[in-house]
């Protein structure tokens, strides 16, 4: 049923799974001897976060933030609001921000600056998807699952109007679903 809303499947469950294993191995090697703190940006990152941390073979902490997002539209407003902040101190911690998608970069450039002010030992970004064509704010993710074209994607945590987050794959939504042609 949901498949009828999909123009095409961009990334299958298997592709996502194997790429996340690679990212987890990379992070495990890069943070050897450390105890990184993974900070998931809700809601979109929760599925990726759950799979990523299980691919990391290190002691680690985790926390979540909620920031304002698109609402029901498919275009970013440029405004970032912290709805829920971290529940712990990050001073001297190695922070890995976990995001579902790096689009304009507005959210992550803001968050990186916001968290840097708390004197963590380091901050990096792990994003499942990167849409570089849409970048408006300078931000670089150290760990990128997949570079994707400029299309609205859903599934694997990503929503359109709070729907489709539970799809196990990532698909491109038919523009007709959100009022396009």
Chain residues binding ligand IMP by CB under 6 A are: 44, 69-70, 76, 99-108, 152-154, 158
Minimum CB distance to ligand IMP smaller for 31 or for 160: 160
Q: Tell me the closest approach of the beta carbon of residue 14 to ligand IMP, in angstroms.
A: 21
Nearest to 144 by CA among 158, 161, 129, 165: 129
Per DSSP, what are the bridge partners of residue 165? none
Instruction: Answer for the pair 62, 39: CB distance below 8 angstroms, yes or no.
Output: yes
Q: Which of 94, 100, 103, 159 is catalytic?
A: 103
103 as an active site residue: the answer is yes
Q: Tell me the closest approach of the beta carbon of residue 136 to ligand IMP, in angstroms.
A: 7
For residue 160, give every residue at least 6 positions away whose Cβ sits within 8 Å of its Cβ, in sequence order, or none: 74, 152, 154, 173, 177, 178
**What angle, 0 to 180 degrees and rounded to 10, lies between the N-to-C axes of helices 46-53 and 13-30?**
60
Minimum CB distance to ligand IMP smaller for 76 or for 122: 76
User: Looking at residue 155, what DSSP letter applies?
Assistant: B
Q: Tell me the closest approach of the beta carbon of residue 175 to ligand IMP, in angstroms.
A: 12
Minimum CB distance to ligand IMP smaller for 51 or for 100: 100
Which active-site residues does the annotation give?
103
């Amino acid at each position: 049923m949901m498949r009828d809303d999909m123009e095409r499947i961009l990334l299958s469950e298997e592709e996502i799974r194997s790429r996340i294993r690679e990212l987890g191995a990379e992070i495990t090697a890069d943070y050897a001897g450390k105890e990184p703190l993974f900070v998931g940006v809700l809601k979109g990152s929760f599925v990726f976060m759950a799979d990523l941390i299980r691919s990391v073979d290190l002691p680690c902490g985790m926390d979540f933030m909620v920031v304002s997002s698109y609402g029901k539209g498919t275009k970013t407003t440029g405004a970032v609001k912290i709805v829920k902040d971290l529940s712990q101190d990050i001073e001297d911690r190695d922070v890995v921000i976990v995001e579902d998608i790096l689009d304009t970069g507005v959210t992550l450039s803001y968050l990186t600056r916001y968290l840097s002010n708390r004197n963590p030992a380091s901050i990096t970004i792990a994003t499942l998807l990167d849409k570089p064509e849409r970048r408006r704010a300078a931000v670089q993710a150290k760990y990128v699952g997949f570079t994707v074209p400029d299309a609205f994607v859903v599934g694997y945590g990503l929503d359109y109007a709070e729907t489709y987050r539970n799809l196990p794959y990532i698909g491109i939504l038919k523009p007709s679903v959100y009022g396009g042609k």
